[in-house]
Amino acid sequence: LVGHVTKEGGLAGPRVLEHVVDTVLAFEGDRHHALRLLRAVKHRFGATDELGVMEMAAEGLRGVPDASRLFLSDRRTGVAGSTVVATLEGQRPLLVEVQALTNRVPPGVPPRRSAQGLDGGRLALLLAVLERRVRLE
């Protein structure tokens, strides 16, 4: 059975479909890039926190054995505000680049904090730790 996800992130059609099947997989990706991420939303017989990294090639979709190399292939070293961090997606260790940009704001204007690819709550927690530990304001 093949279904699709709505703009709101739910499965289209009857809710019973999700309960009938053993596994629900989701492909994530951007149509402007060849990279696709495969996640198990539901897996009756195994873990759902694993990540599959796929790449569209001329012969079709293929697995990427070393995703870290792919994620860091365009990285320029020695650039201010950029670092590489190790993270886990399920059992898969990944090296990914994190970039940060700061700017002064005029007095009386609240600073704006935003993140792309990182949960806003997680960003708030990281910034709170920095504010407390290194007296960052």
93 in a domain, yes or no? no
Asked whether residue 54 falls in the same domain as residue 10, the answer is yes
In a domain, 87, yes or no: no
Kindly state whether residues 67 and 23 are assigned to the same domain: yes
User: What percent helix, strand, coil does the chain show, rounded to 5?
Assistant: 20, 35, 50
Whole-angstrom distance between the N-terminal and C-terminal Cα of the chain?
A: 52
Q: Which amino acid is at 62?
A: R
With respect to residue 79, please indicate whether it lies within any of the assigned structural domains: no
**CB of 28 closer than 8 Å to CB of 39:** yes
Q: Quick: pLDDT tens for 62-115.
A: 999 899 998 898 899 888 999 999 988 888 899 999 888 888 899 999 888 888
CA dihedral over 50, 26, 100, 125, signed as positive or negative? negative
Residues 65 and 120 placed together within one structural domain of the fold: no
Q: What is the pLDDT of residue 68?
A: 92
What pLDDT score does 64 carry? Answer: 92
- Is 60 found in the same domain as 120? no
Residue that is last in its domain, among 74, 91, 120: 74
Q: Structurally, how many domains does the chain consist of? A: 2
* Residue 18: band (very low, low, confident or very high) from pLDDT cuts 50, 70, 90: confident
**Does residue 84 belong to any structural domain of this protein?**
no
Q: How far, in Å, CA of 88 to CA of 62, rounded?
A: 22
| pLDDT tens per residue, range 33-56 | 888 988 888 888 888 888 889 998
Domain membership of residue 59 (yes or no) is: yes
**Best-predicted range by mean pLDDT (1-5, 10-14, 44-48):** 44-48
Q: Domain limits at 137? A: 110-137
Domain assignment present for residue 83? The answer is no
Q: What is the pTM of this model?
A: 0.65
